[in-house]
C-alpha cells in the first residue's frame, strides 16, 4: 500500500502501479519462505540449459539426416 502511494505521488500511471504491485507481490512471496534458495535456482537453471542444449543437438542431427 505504501509503495502505491509513493508511486502515485511520483505521477506513475495506474497501469504501471498495478504491474509494480504484482511484481512486488511475487517478490515478497519468494522472500516469505525464508532466504531465497540460490542452490535450487542454480540447479533449475542448469537443468534448463542442459535440456535446451540437448534439444538443439537433436535438432541439428535431424537437419543433417534430412540434408543427405
Residues 14 and 4 in one domain: yes
Residues 32 and 43 in one domain: no
Render each residue's pLDDT in the chain as its tens digit; 68 residues: 566 666 666 676 667 767 777 777 777 666 555 556 777 888 889 999 999 999 888 877 665 555 55
Residues 50 and 68 in one domain: yes
Residues 5 and 24 in one domain: yes
Number of domains into which the chain is organized: 2
Alpha helices for the chain (secondary structure H): 2-9, 14-32, 38-67
Host domain of residue 44 = 38-68
Residues 19 and 31 in one domain: yes
The answer to whether 8 and 16 are in contact (CB under 8 A) is no
Q: Is the pTM of this model over 0.75?
A: no
Amino acid at each position: 500500500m505504501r509503495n502505491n502511494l509513493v508511486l502515485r505521488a511520483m505521477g506513475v500511471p495506474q497501469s504501471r502501479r498495478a504491474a509494480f504491485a504484482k511484481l512486488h507481490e511475487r517478490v515478497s512471496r519468494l522472500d516469505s519462505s525464508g532466504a531465497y534458495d540460490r542452490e535450487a535456482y542454480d540447479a533449475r537453471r542448469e537443468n534448463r540449459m542442459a535440456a535446451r542444449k540437448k534439444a538443439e543437438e537433436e535438432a541439428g542431427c535431424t537437419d543433417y539426416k534430412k540434408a543427405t
